[in-house]
Structure 1
Amino acid sequence: MQRLKQLTEQYFGKLCLIMSLGAVSTFAQAATAQENCVNINSQHTIIEQYIEQAPYRQALAQIPASFSYSSEQSYQDYLNYAETLIAQRNPRAMMACPISTQSYQLLAKQQQWLGTPKVIQLIAPFELRHPNNHKAILLIHGLTDSPFHFHDLAWQFYQQGFDVRTLLLPGHGTAPSDLVELKYQQWQQAADYAIKRTIDDYQQVYLGGFSTGGALILSHLINNQNNAQQIQGVMLWSPASKASSGLAWMAKYVSWVSTWLDKEGDIDFAKYESFPYNAGAQVNSLMKQLNKQIAKAKHLPKVPILVVASQYDQTIDTQATLEILEKWQQPGQQNHLVYYGDKSQIPASIVDQLQLEIPHCTTASCSAIKQVAHTATINAPSNPHYGENGHYRNCSHYLSDLTLYQQCKQGSKAVKGEKTEANLAQYPGIQRLTYNPYYQQMLSSIQLFIANTSGS
């Protein structure tokens, strides 16, 4: 509590100095003073101002904190570093954010936080700890995301008796501008540190990664097969394997002459909306590197994998993910696949070799969903920000048409699904799905996977 108070005082002192020098626009000053992370989502009429004036696209000018990622440094050292980094660089780190998840409530109790949650408390990497525990799960988020995306799953794992750790990838948790010059090797360095540190600290370790986080985990296991022997299992949600767009390779070259693929309002406190070309270039390079590693490896680590993926994913090529899963399959290995799509799209060679589940809709809520999106697999329908009745709607695919954008943001009966060409044509104003309508069924699959791989 004292540390957060110090960071708050430092933050506002620096922010006032910047404002006095005229570095922050009048609009940004007014927005910061009046908004919290919830009511900002209702200000659709000024979205063009947010896009043009970018109060949250650029990180603060404070020189960022540094961390060596040496395995000699404790995880608490890392958490302290990440908290300082967010306070130094995120222009709304101390913004009020009246969103309370079960993970936040436990953290608030452990850390003795009082009052309304702040953005920094929701997006910073965290630990959920039991006394004298020997087993843990490390969770690594995706590109442009933050550890907030694991608040739902972290609570479930904690309830199952695991300590839970999350990691903040470099360039994240601050502002989109911090991804403009970053290299994917920096993400890998952070992931390597977190995995090695967790193996040193616990006897039984599981790893979990969403999208980019999944690719970083697989790459680590291939390059560090001694570490892989100490991993009980790996869980991957919409893992980054190959971009769904055939033009993804161009991002590297376009980034040399242009900075931004998308300039958005960045009203989502937990995820960047503006997207630098370099971010796409780096994740594409990471995926290419991973596929080369898999192709060249004489032996892939014998680590059981659970994959949760949607056939209709418009970010990642799910067929490429299934090909990786097929190559990873070894005799007697307890691999699981939770697949949102048509069974005929799964390679026949792996259907009988793993535990396969294709969930079926059992509620009126999921019957209204038009396919599971890339962005949907890890969040619960009850999530107060991304859930069925959450404050946030993903409508970024309509920024070129602000009429459709506002229809998506404000419509009382928004259709939810993936942003496929067919859906965009059939359902004007469709909202990209941000929660998993099959969440409870997925939790059952996860419990089965852990039971099959824990040795207990």
Structure 2
Amino acid sequence: MISSLFSRFAVIGSLAILGACSQSTTDANYVPSDTLPDYSQNSFQQYMDETKQWLTEHRVFKSNDLEKELSVNLPFEIKPNKPNGKGVLLVHGLGDSPFSFIDVAQHLADQGYLVRSILLPGHGSKVADLMLPSLEDWQNVVHHHTQLLKAQTDEVWLGGYSTGANLVTSEALKDDNIAGLLLFSPAFKPGSSTVKFAKIASYFVTWADQDPETNPIRYNSLPMHGAAVYYDTVKVVQQDLKGKKYTKPVFMIASEGDHVIDTTFATSVFKTQFTNVKNHLVWQGENTFPANNATTFSMNRPDLKIVDGSHMGLLFSPINPEYGENGAVRICSNGQTEEQELACEEGADVWFSAYGVKEEGKIFARLTYNPYFEQSMEMLDHVMSKK
């Protein structure tokens, strides 16, 4: 799984990486497309329509329900019933899809915002397409759709998850007209420093992680090139943040159990460089976060069979049909033995955690939802309010 990538990097020596041989396969999931879809259309509707056409032609589908698979991978827009004149652009993370923000987007639309969730080039089709995008592709799609949304609304907020949080933070630091930031598991710094070797490794190794592609909503594997472009976003956002204070409102949510990213670095940026009085951090963990503008929620929830919080679990409501408490998707690739993973896949009784948690006598699946979703959204609303 992609969310285990940085943990795996930590145990792969750089010499072993450079000495390995690239894998080859005829599986269509692992063969890149000839091109990436255009993202520079003059309207968001045209962007959605043309992206749908491109994905219809290039996606390797995982099921017979083609329309459902397309719907969870396409960029989308939710128009509010009672518009407040403001807009929010949301950007997903590495290996994910616009569906990452489906619950957050609906909540924001219910508050009156025009909400758009875009597709980063290389995503939504087949995992090998992550061999194709450049850093500039990801930066440009964010910038272009920020400008489109600004032209149609009085005020624009930017929101991002993981890699997407890096991209929107850099965009906001360059554009004083952005109203504020909504950051979910911001990947300002990876949990493992060895990810910095991804670019040079990509010249020798095709795959950082190659697993069966069975999840219709996100990729399970990751080309080394995709990891390298992620690290490019890290270098850029760290440079953009260096020595700067960001004075617009910021909502941040992070998990103590998340080892995909360096949460200490991200929360330090929140405390020392994000200075607006309305800022708020939602911290999921057992150690109370030491700040007056932070709320800590315990993730030791045996009543829900939850052991700790995860990188992706912050985004989804408990009632999400795919990733919620009774969702259709169970992620069993969680850093345990093959026997435990197989038992999880076959429907065994499981506990839920971040990647890599192990306890005697327990089988783990990834925690894919936020048991405090409603409370988190209330705090997000307060950050975005003018009161």
How does the TM-score come out when normalised to structure 1? 0.74
Residues 184-333 of structure 1 mapped to structure 2, 5 A cutoff: 184-225=135-176, 227-228=177-178, 231=179, 233-297=180-244, 300-330=245-275, 333=277
Aligned partners of 1:139 and 1:167 also within 8 Å:
yes
Cα deviation for residue 325 of structure 1 reads 1.0
Q: 2:133 aligns with which of 182, 196, 221?
A: 182
Task: Work out whether 1:89 is the aligned partner of 2:27.
Answer: no
Greater fraction of residues in helix: 1
Cα deviation for residue 53 of structure 1 reads 6.5
Q: 1:289 to 1:279 in 2, by over 3 A?
A: same
Q: Match for residue 5 of structure 2?
A: none
Residues 127-146 of structure 1 mapped to structure 2, 5 A cutoff: 127-130=77-80, 133=83, 134-146=85-97
Q: Which amino acid aligns with 1:373?
A: S
Distance in 2 of aligned mates of 1:411 and 1:131: 40
Cα deviation for residue 200 of structure 1 reads 1.6
Q: Match for residue 406 of structure 1?
A: 342
Residues 278-427 of structure 1 mapped to structure 2, 5 A cutoff: 278-297=225-244, 300-330=245-275, 333-343=277-287, 346=289, 351-352=291-292, 355-360=293-298, 365-366=303-304, 368-398=305-335, 401-420=337-356, 423-426=357-360
Q: Match for residue 36 of structure 1?
A: none
Identify unmatched segments of 5+ residues in structure 1. Answer: 1-50, 98-116
How does the TM-score come out when normalised to structure 2? 0.86
Q: SS of 2:341's equivalent?
A: helix
Q: Which amino acid aligns with 1:257?
A: F
Q: Which amino acid aligns with 1:359?
A: F
Q: 1:438 to 1:52 in 2, by over 3 A?
A: farther
Cα deviation for residue 64 of structure 1 reads 4.6
Distance in 1 of aligned mates of 2:296 and 2:361: 25
Q: 1:310 to 1:398 in 2, by over 3 A?
A: closer
4+ aligned runs moved over 4 Å, structure 1: 61-64, 360-365
Aligned partners of 1:74 and 1:197 also within 8 Å:
yes
Distance in 1 of aligned mates of 2:313 and 2:82: 34
Task: Work out whether 1:445 is the aligned partner of 2:379.
Answer: yes
Cα deviation for residue 77 of structure 1 reads 2.4
Cα deviation for residue 163 of structure 1 reads 1.6
Query: Which structure has more RCO (C-alpha within 8 Å, separation ≥ 6)?
Result: 2
Cα deviation for residue 369 of structure 1 reads 0.6
Aligned partners of 1:387 and 1:435 also within 8 Å:
yes
C-alpha distance after superposition, 1:52-111 (max 9, x if no partner)? 76454445x5655434x37xx1222222232222112112288416xxxxxxxxxxxxxx
Distance in 2 of aligned mates of 1:84 and 1:66: 11
Aligned partners of 2:166 and 2:188 also within 8 Å:
yes
Aligned partners of 1:64 and 1:88 also within 8 Å:
no
Aligned length: 363
Distance in 1 of aligned mates of 2:361 and 2:149: 45
Q: 1:122 aligns with which of 66, 72, 77?
A: 72
Distance in 1 of aligned mates of 2:224 and 2:153: 38
Q: 1:65 to 1:207 in 2, by over 3 A?
A: closer
Single out whichever of 333-342 and 426-435 deviates more from structure 2.
426-435
C-alpha distance after superposition, 1:400-452 (max 9, x if no partner)? x53222122224311110124xx22546531121111221221222222223x
Q: 1:372 to 1:193 in 2, by over 3 A?
A: same
Q: Match for residue 122 of structure 2?
A: 171
Q: Whose radius of gyration is greater, 1 or 2?
A: 1
Single out whichever of 438-447 and 206-215 deviates more from structure 2.
438-447
